[in-house]
Amino acid sequence: MAIALFEEGEPYGNLTCCLDDAPGRNCAYIDVNNMGVDIVDVLEKEGFGKRTGKSISPAMWCIRNFHLRRKC
């Protein structure tokens, strides 16, 4: 699952990232390195989904697994 962010038709960031590990049904890895760790709080607060508690921390960045709601 890929989620790209746009403003006025122009892309400005990718919320998710692709890894070899499958995150699970309706789940995605949130790129907190590029979007900041607060993005996960915002997604939960706005009702887009919830944390799974799983994270991956390769060398210089951290990725959080997030379960997305099917309908927002």
Q: CA torsion 56→61→62→63, rounded to 10°?
A: -80
pLDDT score at 8: 93
End-to-end CA distance of the chain: 16
Residue 72 has pLDDT above 60, yes or no: no
Q: Hey, what are 31's tokens?
A: 């790129």
pLDDT score at 40: 85
pLDDT in tens, 15-71: 887 776 667 777 788 888 777 888 888 888 988 888 888 877 765 455 667 777 765
The one-letter amino acid code at 68 reads: L
pLDDT score at 34: 76
pTM listed for this prediction: 0.67
- Pairing relationship of beta strands 63-68 and 49-56 according to DSSP bridges: antiparallel
In total, the chain counts a number of residues equal to: 72
Nearest Cα neighbor of 15 from 52, 54, 48, 47 is: 48
